[in-house]
Chains A and B, each alone.
Chain A
Amino acid sequence: MEKLATAWAIFQGLLLEAIPFLLLGVAIAGLARWLVPQKAWIGKLPRNPLLAPISGALMGLALPACECGNVPVARRLIASGAPMGTAFGFLFAAPVLNPIVLASTWAAFPDQPWLLIGRPLGAFFLAVLLSVLLVQLPDSQLLEAALLEERRMSQPLASRGLLERNSGLIGTPLPIEQPRSAQRERIGDVIDQSSREFLDLLALLVLGCIIAALVQTWIPRSWLLAVGSAPTASILALMALAVVVSVCSSVDAFLALGFAAQVTPGALMSFLLLGPVVDLKLVGLFTVLMRPRAIALTAVAASLGVLLIGQWVNLWQL
């Protein structure tokens, strides 16, 4: 019973700390839809397979939110017809490549310049790698069904196969000039839509926080840190810890500071890179973006990528 009470408290802490960032993400996504309804800037985003994720990753610098806030923004990007690589590049890089996280990493590890440069660089390369990998999947195997439909609504008919269309129109429609006032969605409609999105994501966040709190309460953290000095084992252990702890990326560097001296540098880097991309709290949220197989592919690819980066850091630093 005592453990259950502790899990309940951890759950409340995780949830109450994450809700502001989720709301911020939904608000930014709604605001973007309201301010830029004609996809003026989305049309200008690069569609090159490599430049698209790079541009998405760099967009993270403008959004000071942790990983929960990025999901609604990435979803809005995909639904608006942005290049898939850009949206995924943003999704995976923004939790690290944003001013707050960079500042907190610097505040936690001011005496480790390799980490201050290595973390954003690692997050950037990981995001590009995952994006390039995911866009190889056909849209129908990658995107969640409702999102796929939404995305198709925003794309010209010519970009869709005949069998994918739900109407009898063929070809690209002629552009119709509309008065600017008619193009902008009403703010009430934006709030209406955003509230649905928020409640959808919140339900998944609740689920993720429940799982994270239960796992944290019943698995002693010392088990994961027991293998601190073994190069590969310590990386794997810290990767598991990052997935379990599910702490937001804006403060994970401070948490890492607590055990930095007990683990290898590669393990430390792995903890700081994997948590913002994959954790128990995020798994539910990802289901509004991707199909289960794509989520599994993301988790496996991110883990392998982080393991390799961690090994490389250990070779270099040990």
Chain B
Amino acid sequence: MNRALLLLIWGWMVLWSVHSGRLDLLMNSVFHGLVGATGIALIVAGLLLLRRQRRPLERLRISWIASTGIAVLMVLAPPAPSFSDLASNRPQGIPQAPQLAFVLPPEQRSLTEWVRLLRSQPDPELVNGNPVNISGFVWRQNNAPPLIARLTVRCCLADATPAGLAVAWPETSEPKANQWLAIRGHMAVQLRNGNPMVVVVPTTIEEIERPERPLEP
């Protein structure tokens, strides 16, 4: 084992992360190209070093081997974060849309767009009765009914910020944390803790697979 091999392992791990699509789960898509280019650069550097291989082989530092072991572990153990847990650790307060956003018809708005809209026009009556067609994960909170939510990310999971909507869950439904759901229904205004609040009233709730790109910018 030599230094070139360590670089090749790191390059392979980085390229694998891009190829396997796990970056969609870890960071904003603007960084994906940069990460991919880094993987290629590491592979090229490893191959160049391999050509200069010395005899006898140098002794590798423990820190290099240990950190490369973690790179291998990253390939073997893919990330499986609990979005609900992550969201519970963060305050709500999603930033504005990165690009100029036009107000879409209600049934075409994503969950994040709904949250942004409700923040910008807090009068709940303005959206009362609007049709809703959204998807997200179930965010279970302590001492509060579960929300349907999405995580917005500008950099990576470290800065993930939750955007959640209240749902008038049917009595028969018991949403589990991290379960991905597609909800069709309409917006309604209900009194919660004495305050009027916008709530999604579902007509259909369908369990879905986690989307390929679960994070939103």
Contacts and interface: CB of A to CB of B under 8 A. Distances in A.
Given A10-B81, A108-B95, A251-B154, 5 more contacts: A13-B27, A195-B7, A212-B158, A254-B95, A257-B96
A259 interface: yes
A206 interface: yes
B191 interface: no
Contacts of A262: 91, 93
Given A6-B81, A254-B154, A192 B74 contact: no
B205 interface: no
Interface of A: 2-3, 5-6, 8-10, 12-17, 19-20, 23, 27, 108, 188, 191-192, 194-196, 198-200, 202-204, 206, 212-213, 216-217, 219-222, 225, 245-248, 250-252, 254-255, 257-259, 261-262
A225 B91 CA distance: 8
Interface residues on B, range: 35 or more
Contact of A9 (B10, B41, B52, B79): B79
A8 B25 CA distance: 12
Contacts of B67: 199, 202-203, 206
A2 to B, nearest CB: 5
B12 to A, nearest CB: 13
Contact of A16 (B14, B63, B86): B14
A133 to B, nearest CB: 30
B102 to A, nearest CB: 19
B6 A199 contact: yes
Interface of B: 3-4, 6-7, 10, 14, 17, 22-23, 25-28, 31, 34-35, 37-38, 41-42, 45, 48-49, 52, 61, 63-64, 66-67, 70, 74, 77, 79-82, 85-86, 88-91, 93-96, 154-159, 161
A9 B25 contact: yes
A13 B24 CA distance: 10
A20 B15 CA distance: 12
Contacts of A258: 91, 93-95, 159, 161
Contacts of A14: 156-158
A248 B66 contact: no
Q: Which 5 A-B pairs have the closest CB atoms?
A: A13-B156, A9-B79, A9-B81, A254-B154, A203-B63
Given A203-B66, A206-B70, A247-B158, A259 B81 contact: no
25 contacts: A2-B85, A3-B85, A6-B86, A10-B81, A10-B157, A12-B79, A13-B27, A14-B158, A16-B27, A17-B26, A17-B155, A19-B10, A19-B35, A20-B34, A192-B52, A195-B4, A203-B66, A222-B91, A246-B158, A247-B159, A252-B155, A254-B95, A254-B155, A257-B96, A261-B93
Contacts of A199: 3, 6-7, 61, 63-64, 67
B154 to A, nearest CB: 4
Contacts of B26: 9, 12-13, 16-17
Nearest to B79: A9
Contacts of A257: 95-96
A255 B3 contact: no
A95 to B, nearest CB: 14
Contacts of A5: 79-82
A16 B155 contact: no
B59 to A, nearest CB: 12
Contacts of A200: 61, 63-64
Contact of B35 (A2, A20, A198): A20
Given A191-B45, A203-B64, A254-B154, A16 B35 contact: yes
B159 A245 contact: yes
A188 B81 contact: no
Given A9-B81, A203-B64, A203-B67, A23 B42 contact: yes
A244 to B, nearest CB: 9
Contact of A17 (B35, B41, B88, B89): B35
Contacts of A191: 45, 48-49, 52
B157 A9 contact: yes
A23 B41 CA distance: 9
Contacts of B48: 188, 191
B38 A2 contact: no
A27 B7 CA distance: 14
B52 A16 contact: no
B156 A16 contact: yes
Contacts of A2: 82, 85
A221 B93 CA distance: 12
B41 A255 contact: no
B88 to A, nearest CB: 8
A176 B88 CA distance: 66
